Structure 1
Amino acid sequence: MNTATTTAQIDQAADRFARRVTARLTAGNDELPYDISERLRAARVQALAKRKLAAPVRQERTAPAVVHNGRTAALGWGGEGGNWWRALVSAVPLTALLVGLVVVNISQDEYGANEVAEVDAALLTDDLPPSAYADPGFVQYLKTANRPAATP
């Protein structure tokens, strides 16, 4: 459905409603005193003057539209030209995501380096020589030494 057609239909519905309200108000106008009916008439004239001034200022805005391309669909802006502000604002979440990924990567690298440094420091400050850790029998000894002893 075309946006201009929709706007025209909305305007027509608003005009029909305004005519019904005006007819109701006019029907009860005959029973009012003269001074009140004159004030109402002046208020109507002022309202019409304001409406006539406000009508040309009205701008046409298009709503986002779904753009079909084969079996896919994407949100578009209904033929509206490119807007640099919208592009800038839409880039903010992507920038935040990239900054977050960089921060996580840096912290993980630092954590991994600290962990390796602790293991190296423990190996170098231990009583055993580093060559003992490379011995296959030592690995077997560690596996059996960590197993709980059987109770008789």
Structure 2
Amino acid sequence: MKNFQTSATATTADMDLWGRTLAAQLDVASQDLGHDIGERLRVARQMALKTRPIPQRLLRHSLALQANGTLSGPPDEGLNLWRILASALPLLALVSSLMFIQAIQQDLAETDIASLDSALLLDELPPDAYTDPGFVQFLKIQLHQNARHD
């Protein structure tokens, strides 16, 4: 038996022609077989036709019921303007929310520094207090306690 080699340039029409030729040759060769062998061949052909893959061009334009009960239409080919905008929207939301968080954190840091500076300027402190590493922490604790009492 000869093997049919497909090339990259073989078209669907060529494949259909080859399939019809092969089917005709099989039909001619099966005429000399007995009835029981012919029936087994017929059943085998029917099973092969049931399991053959459906061409993509037929699937492209049909609706299909998925396993979860949803109805899916034909896939949209290419990107249109709305798809591009819809895919850019989550990125835009992420960037804007990160910028908003950055602004809030910067505002909180500036407020914290301003309250420490005002506490330092309003209190009478010895010069050694400014060089003490724990003094800033002490001022933060004092500011929080004063805020609770007010």
Q: What TM-score bracket applies, with the shorter chain setting the length?
A: 0.3 to 0.5
TM-score (norm: length of structure 2): 0.43
TM-score (norm: length of structure 1): 0.43
